[in-house]
Structure 1
Amino acid sequence: MSCSSQADADDSSEKQAIQDTDPKPLQPSTSQTGQELTKNQIKKIARRQRLLEKVKSNRKQERIKRKERRRLRIANGDVQPRAIKSMSSKCASNIRVAIDMSFDHLMTDGDIAKLLKQLQRCYAENRRAEHALQFYITGLGGRSEQRFKDAVSGYDKWDVYRKSESFLDIFKKEEIVYLTSDSSNVLKDLDPNSVYIIGGLVDHNFHKGICMKLANKYGIKHAQLPIKKYINLASRSVLCVNHVFEILLAYAECKNWASSLEKVIPHRKRIK
């Protein structure tokens, strides 16, 4: 199956800031430290709360409109309903990919929330793929697992191999390949006898080289995606979890690194 181009859509910076901050309502006359608020401060808080409510309402309405538009297009025969794939289906890939969720202690609550969204994107893309990867989430526990339970309805029914154990306890040492941009080894192909580990970490470059250090510590193989061969990035070859997963998913379907990287890597990360 050939790879197709993919639009890269982002929320505006203002809406993203609102979404990530998730502020708690304050008392109308006092701050969280107990100090009296000025009239201007009270007005600002009220305006922010109104904006939050408006953004949430607009997003809800837009979701409803999108679903209705798609329903009408399906009814008119313009598009086909999305086929949901299972990892156990006959056409599923035998390539194994695992997200290592052992970095709770290095992330803020906000970073964990962002990582959760990236995992949701991985899951959604895998379910729609023609050849779904064998998808593992390992080392899941602590704040990350609690966030899953609180924020994702029915996450326990996801078609993934969800494990509380470390990937080191699940897979044989000789079949593990930890993906890290710091590796000197460039991935040439995907081997069904290997399992590819993606570090589940949102760190804003605060912990450079941590995945490489982990691979060296446990004496496991490591490799980087062949990004530099095909794409000129504006910064280090570090991608978020879902982008790495989507590249592997695309390559499993079309066996072409150039097309897979072109399809997934956002243009904002490239040298113009």
Structure 2
Amino acid sequence: MFSFHRNGYKLIKLGMVIMNDTKKNSAHSKLLHSIQIRQKDDLLKLCFKRKHSTATNIDPENELNFDDITKGDKEVEHKLKVILLETEVMRQEGKSVPEKTFFTAEHWKELLNLSSRSARRKYLEYLFRLSKTKENRKIKRFEKKLKREEFINSKEVEKNESLEEFALKYDLAHNNMFLRFYDSTINQMYNNRLFQAMMFGQKLVVDCGYDKNMTKRENINCAKQLMLLFGENRIHEDPFDLHFCNTDPGGELIKYLHKHIPNMYELSFPLNLHESSYLDLFPKDQLVYLTPHCRQEMTEFDFDAIYIIGAIVDKINIEPLSLAKAKKEGLKMAKLPLDRYLQWGAGSGKSLTLNQVTSILNDIKLKRDWDFALRHVPKRKVVDYGTGSSINKTGSQKFGTCRPERRWKPSSNVDLNQQIFTKNKQ
């Protein structure tokens, strides 16, 4: 009994020591977390060169210009004051609401257009994430600036070194056999590809006449996809000659696209912007409108055709607008053979982004292989992509070429002659 009590006392004492160590470790982790937060706040103060003020010290009516937002409408002004009070209450409750200095007139106008409180809450959460992303970018940029200054100061000390000391050191700042490539040089190389495509490449039309059929968020998403479309086409081995037709300089889509590509209106920029229709620029018999709502599948790539992609993001409005427009203008239509070559997963949509469609067209133009071109379809949308099962079911019916079906083969290390197969006796 004595040994049992003594061992039990030791166990209790050991447990108390472990609890104290865990408390010390948790206190130490909390201390480190608080130090990291203080360092981040100090960097923010250095970046913005101002002190952080609390939300209660700012009067929203003194910060906003109501006339620019409400245009003198008393009802809109009253609704704006209610939304200001609502955002202040959400901020005091600890919800994800950005600082008042982050808001612009466009943000308040968007909040006025939202009818429900839940929609405004989701939009405020989106703005909160956006504000934190911008803060983190500024912090990283400021940290890089400090490191660059430290590096320059350290190099100033080494300026008095002799030629022999300089030659003996092998790094990027001293003796080096590699030539440095700057970002401007890479951009010039990619732009040169587009200039060559303007002279000798195949043309691709992007119809930008759907901005009035999309909401603000859809226009923002579409502008981002157009930016990615231009970037992925530029870095391709054989890019298209892009023509953005039916553009409205005062429309929402082109305004948001101009934010992503600030120099797109420059004469030296390799992008064709047309306010006129593609019917006024190209022969009608060469135009082929790519729409997912038609029945005709694009079995082979036509190098003489001028394909048209509709710049539309239809998350809310799912009407076949591109099909109706192509029928109205009497154009030939086609769709990508996605159902023929892919087996879609349950619950996944069949829609693709504009940059994914352009990448597929670039690859099918270069390789003439649908298996290779459809690699740009997100793998989360398809089932067993790459196994060849869906291709053997449909692709072999009309196309003579398809990949062989994968089957299990034993390893070369396994000797089948020495394997013993027995049946279970009942």
Question: Which TM-score tier does this pair reach, normalised by the shorter chain?
Answer: 0.7 to 0.9
The structure 2 residue matched to 1:245, chosen from 358, 361, 383, is 358
Q: Deviations over 1:89-134 (max 9, x none)?
A: 2798732211100111101122111111111111111211111111
Change (3 A) 1:39 1:240: closer
Q: Deviations over 1:201-257 (max 9, x none)?
A: 011152332211111111110000111222222345321211111111122222211
Which residue is 2:382 aligned to?
A: 270
Which residue is 2:44 aligned to?
A: none
CA distance in 2, matches of 1:249, 1:62: 36
CA contact (8 A) 2:207 2:310 kept: yes
Which residue is 2:106 aligned to?
A: none
1:218 aligns with 2:335: no
TM-score for the superposition, normalised by structure 2 = 0.49
> Per-residue deviation at 1:53?
3.0
CA distance in 2, matches of 1:205, 1:37: 27
Change (3 A) 1:168 1:162: same
> Per-residue deviation at 1:194?
1.0
Change (3 A) 1:41 1:91: closer
1:145 aligns with 2:254: yes
CA contact (8 A) 2:90 2:97 kept: no
- Extract unaligned runs of 5+ from structure 2: 1-54, 62-77, 100-127, 148-171, 385-426
Change (3 A) 1:193 1:43: same
Residues 119-130 of structure 1: matches in 2 within 5 Å?
A: 119-130=226-237
2:92 partner letter: K
Change (3 A) 1:205 1:150: closer
Comparing 201-210 and 115-124, the one that deviates more: 201-210
1:154 partner letter: N
Count residues in correspondence: 240
Which residue is 1:113 aligned to?
A: 220
Change (3 A) 1:45 1:210: farther
Give the number of the structure with larger relative contact order, counting CA–CA contacts within 8 Å between residues 6 or more apart: 1
Which residue is 1:103 aligned to?
A: 210
- Extract unaligned runs of 5+ from structure 1: 1-24
**Structure number with higher helix proportion:** 2
CA distance in 1, matches of 2:338, 2:379: 13
Change (3 A) 1:45 1:76: farther
Change (3 A) 1:171 1:92: closer
1:148 partner letter: L
> Per-residue deviation at 1:138?
0.6
> Per-residue deviation at 1:173?
1.2
Aligned-CA RMSD value? 3.5
Change (3 A) 1:64 1:108: farther
Which residue is 2:279 aligned to?
A: 168
The structure 2 residue matched to 1:58, chosen from 136, 141, 147, is 136
Change (3 A) 1:32 1:41: farther
Change (3 A) 1:117 1:64: farther
1:42 partner letter: R
Which residue is 1:227 aligned to?
A: 338
CA distance in 2, matches of 1:152, 1:33: 32
Q: Deviations over 1:44-90 (max 9, x none)?
A: 58852164432213345678999x9xxx8xx996x988541423327
Change (3 A) 1:149 1:45: farther
Which residue is 2:270 aligned to?
A: 159
1:34 partner letter: K
Which residue is 2:97 aligned to?
A: 48
% same residue: 23
1:190 aligns with 2:297: no
The structure 1 residue matched to 2:372, chosen from 228, 242, 259, is 259
2:380 partner letter: R
CA distance in 2, matches of 1:247, 1:174: 23
CA distance in 2, matches of 1:42, 1:86: 50
CA contact (8 A) 1:92 1:132 kept: no
CA distance in 1, matches of 2:79, 2:321: 37
CA contact (8 A) 1:125 1:246 kept: yes
Which residue is 1:181 aligned to?
A: 292
Which residue is 1:8 aligned to?
A: none
CA distance in 1, matches of 2:87, 2:135: 29
TM-score for the superposition, normalised by structure 1 = 0.74
Which residue is 1:33 aligned to?
A: 80
